[in-house]
Amino acid sequence: MKLTIATDKALCVALKHECLRCIDAFNDFVASATISITQGENRMIAFKTYNAYARFILHLYEFMLGAIAREQGDTTLPRGKIADAYISSHARRILRNRREAILNGTAPVWENHISAYPEELPKEFAEAFRHCRNYASVHVSAKRSRFNLSEFYDKYHLFLYLLYYDVKGWWGRVGNEFPDLDEITAFSVLVKGNPPSQP
């Protein structure tokens, strides 16, 4: 279905929500990984760190699907190779821009050395990202217990972080006031208005 002004506004609220969920998951991952590094690893810490990273991947991937749909002016979320192509193109552009800013001297003072950024995005990155989202976060299958998230992290975290940093810069919170997300931020478990009738 093609986006209308009303559905675009609703999709923007959903994208903002997904971005904030991604930020929460990333912060949880950083906190858990810090405990793992400073206090030593054990199964419980590994479990919590895995779960936080899997949620981060899920929310980042879902945000990307929503952003593709919005860019295409449609409410239908892309799947498979279409999503892979868009994600690869977007990540490649971010990587290229980072490298160019370093090389031409316009990067911020806190930026990494050029050696931190490879010249090319791995060809399989977007497909690996999709599979990781499926195996570690979404589908309950035997593949999950055999999927090596540590290896995925080692190979692709840099590129996920570049996507995340870009998304957070455009869609993250601005200022101290929490954004109004319609029914999402109106959610309450308290009974309001008319209390339930007594039998």
**Beta-carbon contacts of residue 5 (< 8 Å; ≥ 6 apart):** none
Query: Sign of the C-alpha dihedral, residues 146, 164, 173, 134?
Result: negative
**pTM summary value:** 0.91
**Taking the domains of the chain in order of start, what are their residue ranges?**
5-164
The separation between the first and the last C-alpha atoms of the chain, rounded to the nearest angstrom, is 45
Looking at residue 195, its pLDDT comes to: 63
* pLDDT tens figures, 123-177: 999 999 999 999 999 999 999 999 999 999 999 999 999 999 999 999 998 888 8
**Beta-carbon contacts of residue 45 (< 8 Å; ≥ 6 apart):** 32, 35, 36, 39
**CB 25 within 8 Å of CB 63:** no
**CB 45 within 8 Å of CB 32:** yes
Which tokens belong to 34?
């810090």
